[in-house]
Amino acid sequence: MPNSRSPRFEIGLDLGATLVKAVYVRAGRPLSPFESYVCSTRNHGALEAFLEAHPARRIAATGGGAPRLVEGWKGRPAVVYVDEFASWGAGEKVLLEGAGFTPSSPHLLVSLGTGTSFLAVGKNGKVTRVGGTALGGGTIRGLGRLLAGESSHEALVSLARAGDRKKVDLLVGDLYRPGEIDLDPSLTASNFGKPGLSRDPRDLVNAAVGLLGENVALMAGAMARGLPRTKGGPSRPTVVYAGTTLRHHEVLKEILADVTALAGADARFLPSGEFTGALGALEGARALSREGAS
């Protein structure tokens, strides 16, 4: 429960299946720069302690766990629920201000969390979910637990960095001699398909990351190319990737960038992208407040 001290903060929460992502700023201040906090979704005490330590004038929430928080919240102020996809669109807009790139309009925004959602962002800022896949960070944690006995994000990132999935995946070059087929020999022919595949946990986790990254990027590239073309716009659409699965994960980012390019689109990575939803929830709550005051 929040304490009785004078409320000084505005807080945005994104309550996902695995993690709670929070952003907070001093009440009335711009949303950038912001402070952040992350805890496990299962650790209710950690979220309560965070809210206790940050007496809030406004709390906004999005994500799968947000409706339950709104219903069960007994403190003050009341928690404002903001639609998840609208939150991602609003959060991306804020983060793009310092991203150093401008995506094509329209473009695809990919939310890589426990699972993955594909969002089309129109030139008017409207966000529409155009697809999704059950492949996501939850896939990596599950496979990591089964194949390497590890499930923490940090441990799996470290294992993937040290591994070599060419010892696990069957490549085009393993099947065809040079010149026999018009495909790059380094492309994956079958994930986890190499006979006598390595049992080294590092290689197996690296291959699991490849399985995720390649399939998400192929789907994202196809969806991005299917978006309406803007006359006079760039020849290739942009795919903007964000979400907690990308945190400190250079191996995954490299795979996403390479395969997205092969699929005919340009990959960009949103800075502080794990906080896109939380930031957008707070921006959405502010917008609702402005509308109510007008």
CATH number of the CATH domain containing 71: 3.30.420.40
Residues 165 and 247 in one domain: yes
Amino acid occupying residue 165: R
Query: Which residue type is seen at 22?
Result: A
Q: Is residue 179 part of a domain?
A: yes
Q: Say if CB 268 and CB 226 are below 8 A apart.
A: no
Based on the domain organization, do 190 and 221 belong to the same domain? yes
Q: What is the pLDDT of residues 73-97, one digit of tens each?
A: 888 899 999 999 999 999 999 999 9
Helix (H) or strand (E) holding 242: strand 238-242
Residue 57 placed within a domain: yes
> Which residues are 12's β-sheet partners?
23, 60
Task: Round the average pLDDT of the chain to a whole number and report it.
Answer: 93
Regarding whether 285 and 265 lie in a shared domain, the answer is: no
Residue 244 maps to a domain? yes
CB 119 within 8 A of CB 89: yes
Distance in angstroms (rounded) separating the CA atoms of residues 207 and 135: 14
Residue indicated by tokens 């079958």: 190
In a domain, 124, yes or no: no
73-83 burial, b at 16+ Cβ within 10 Å, e below that, comes to: beeeeebbbbe
Q: What does the pLDDT read at residue 229?
A: 80
DSSP letter for 167, please: G
Check whether residue 147 and residue 220 sit in a common domain: yes
Judgement on whether residues 25 and 47 belong to the same structural domain of the protein: yes
In tens, the pLDDT along 152-211 reads: 999 999 999 999 999 999 999 999 999 999 999 999 999 999 999 999 999 999 999 999
Nearest to 212 by CA among 140, 293, 149, 289: 140
Q: Are residues 80 and 154 in the same domain?
A: no
* 127 in any annotated domain: no
- Amino acid in the structure at residue 191: N
Q: Is residue 234 part of a domain?
A: yes
Please check whether residues 64 and 191 belong to one and the same domain. Answer: no
Residues 203 and 281 in one domain: no
pLDDT tens-digit map of 212-254: 999 999 999 999 999 988 777 788 999 999 999 999 999 999 9
Find out whether 61 and 282 touch, Cβ atoms under 8 Å: no
Q: Looking at the domain assignment, is residue 245 inside a domain?
A: yes
**279 and 253 part of one domain:** no
> What are the CB-based long-range contacts (under 8 Å, 24+) for 231-237?
233/104, 233/105, 234/104, 234/266, 236/104, 236/264, 236/265, 236/266, 237/104, 237/106, 237/107, 237/108, 237/264, 237/265, 237/266
Is 248 inside any structural domain? yes
The answer to whether the beta carbons of residues 5 and 52 sit under 8 Å apart is no
pTM tops 0.95, yes or no: no
> Is there a single domain that holds both residue 84 and residue 147?
no
Q: What is the DSSP letter of 227?
A: S
For residue 78, the enclosing domain spans 9-91+275-293
Tell me: do 264 and 227 sit in the same domain.
yes
Q: How many domains does the chain have?
A: 2
Is 61:77 a contact under the CB 8 Å cutoff? no
Do 151 and 265 lie in one domain? The reply is yes
Contact between residue 8 and residue 27 where contact means Cβ atoms under 8 Å apart = yes
Q: Which helix (H) or strand (E) holds 270?
A: none
